[in-house]
Amino acid sequence: MTRFLSEKYRGLVPYDTAGEHEPGAFVKLNTNESPFPPSPRALARMAEASATLNFYPDPDGSELTAKVAELCGVRPDEVLLTCGSDEALSFIFMAFCDASRPAAFPDITYSFYEVLAGLNGVPFETVPLNADLSLRERVSWPSGRTLFLANPNSPTGLALSRAEAERVVQGNPDDIIVIDEAYVDFGTESCAPLIHTYDNLLVVQTFSKSRSLAGARLGFCLGSEPLIRDLKTIKNSIAPYNLSAATLAAGLGALEDEAYTRANCRAIMENRAFTEKALKDLGFKVVPSVTNFLLARHPKLSGQELARRLKEKRILVRSYGAPEALLPYARITIGTREQMEALLAALKNILEESHETC
Ligand code: PMP
């Protein structure tokens, strides 16, 4: 840190991306990306758009906004496009959280919420998950807080049903409830239709997972028109041109090829069932998942040991140094069937090696 860094950022603990992008050829199962390439339609649209990169992009991304609205069954003025869903979360922290309206989120969830609280000087409260890592279904979460609920949750892979999530939104009518649906396309119902009933609900989604566009950085937020207008005020004060023309075009192409997305989601769900069963056969305990990843632990190896041994075999998975409850676990992104078979063969090998050294 230099002596020039603003006082307000001196205690900042940024999001840790260490180890996420390793050089060399790895089977990459550590950051929940899609193993499938972007739709050919997305690539074609992006190539077309690159010819006009001398111009600034449409600051409202009107064409894509209309398409997202159609997909989600809402109006275009109920949609804000963002640079990944991380940017939507960032705008929400800026718009709807401060010292008098702190944040709240489960104690085991997407760690970026805590980073954003730090960046924005927002106090936060964590709410414990149930002992089985499921989201607590409570009618009253702490009130006077902006509540962030990843649904499905990461890294657990578990979700509340739409009716359960609705009870949280309904039970806290004076607080903004943010439902972060990064993994919604792998087996849960979206809360998007509820934005017409509740003026305190924001739903955040991404093109990074089911639509194979993590590298393009595209997400969106849905909410009542007045809430979206507040978020637009923030967006137009920081990054009026927050999305490149290439990204807007890729998003449009992806939505023109929903059949491709649906087929990929089906493949991921099939590979998830295959991998879950095979992991159990190897002695793993696996948290049942409705996402594109599995949280698994083995009685013989900690999560970090497992990740280290797999890395030696050129396979990356995510492990945790905190909190305590996550130490036994590794989080494994669901890849292609071939990638899952490579993972299982490596795990079998590692377990045999550990058996021999016992
Ligand atoms: N929410 C959750 C729960 C996530 O796990 C992630 C990242 N994996 C994000 C949001 C952000 O994703 P992106 O910025 O790529 O849309």
- Spell out the residues 6+ positions from residue 5 whose beta carbon is closer than 8 angstroms to its own: none
Structural domain ending residue among the three candidates 212, 239, 256: 256
Write the DSSP string, 172-184.
-TTS-EEEE-TTG
How many angstroms does the Cα of residue 83 sit away from the middle of ligand 1?
Answer: 11
How many angstroms does the Cα of residue 17 sit away from the middle of ligand 1?
Answer: 13
- pLDDT tens track of the chain, all 358 residues? 999 999 999 999 999 887 788 878 999 999 999 999 999 999 999 999 999 999 999 999 999 999 999 999 999 999 999 999 999 999 999 999 999 999 999 999 999 999 999 999 999 999 999 999 998 776 568 889 999 999 999 999 999 999 999 999 999 999 999 999 999 999 999 999 999 999 999 999 999 999 999 999 999 999 999 999 999 999 999 999 999 999 999 999 999 999 999 999 999 999 999 999 999 999 999 999 999 999 999 999 999 999 999 999 999 999 999 999 999 999 999 999 999 999 999 999 999 998 776 5
One domain, residues 308 and 320: yes
pLDDT score recorded for residue 21:
84
Q: How far apart are CA 77 and CA 74, in angstroms?
A: 8
How many angstroms does the Cα of residue 85 sit away from the middle of ligand 1?
Answer: 6
How many angstroms does the Cα of residue 182 sit away from the middle of ligand 1?
Answer: 6
One domain, residues 217 and 292: no
Q: Is the C-beta atom of 206 inside 6 A of ligand 1?
A: yes
The three-class DSSP label of residue 14 is coil
Is residue 299 one of the residues assigned to a domain? yes
One domain, residues 78 and 149: yes
Q: What order do you get walking across the sheet with 315-319 strand by strand?
A: 27-29, 315-319, 329-333, 293-297, 285-287
One domain, residues 72 and 149: yes
CATH number of the CATH domain containing 201 = 3.40.640.10
Ligand 1, residue 110: give the atom nearest the CA.
3
- Cα–Cα–Cα angle for 31, 83, 51, nearest 5°? 110
pTM > 0.95? yes
Q: Best mutation site among 83, 153, 154, 290 for ligand 1, i.e. most ligand atoms within 8 A of its Cβ?
A: 154
In tens, the pLDDT along 248-300 reads 999 999 999 999 999 999 999 999 999 999 999 999 999 999 999 999 999 99
Q: How far is CA 296 from the centre of its chain?
A: 18
Whole-angstrom CA distances from 79 to 45, 64, 207 are: 22, 10, 14
How many angstroms does the Cα of residue 146 sit away from the middle of ligand 1?
Answer: 18
Ligand 1, residue 208: give the atom nearest the CA.
15
One domain, residues 118 and 195: yes
Q: Phi and psi dihedrals of 243, rounded to 5?
A: -120, 130
CATH number of the CATH domain containing 324 = 3.90.1150.10
- Spell out the residues 6+ positions from residue 175 whose beta carbon is closer than 8 angstroms to its own: 141, 143, 144, 145, 146, 147, 200
Q: Is the C-beta atom of 30 inside 6 A of ligand 1?
A: no
One domain, residues 62 and 176: yes
Ligand 1, residue 87: give the atom nearest the CA.
14
One domain, residues 185 and 54: yes
One domain, residues 132 and 154: yes
Is residue 3 one of the residues assigned to a domain? no
If one counts the domains in the chain, the total is 2
Q: Is the C-beta atom of 109 inside 6 A of ligand 1?
A: no
* Pair 275, 334: CB distance under 8 Å: yes
Is residue 5 one of the residues assigned to a domain? no
One domain, residues 150 and 178: yes
Q: Is the C-beta atom of 208 inside 6 A of ligand 1?
A: yes
Instruction: Determine which helix (DSSP H) or strand (DSSP E) holds 357, and give its type and residue range.
Output: helix 337-357
Domain limits for position 283: 22-35+259-357
Q: Is the C-beta atom of 182 inside 6 A of ligand 1?
A: yes
Ligand 1, residue 207: give the atom nearest the CA.
16
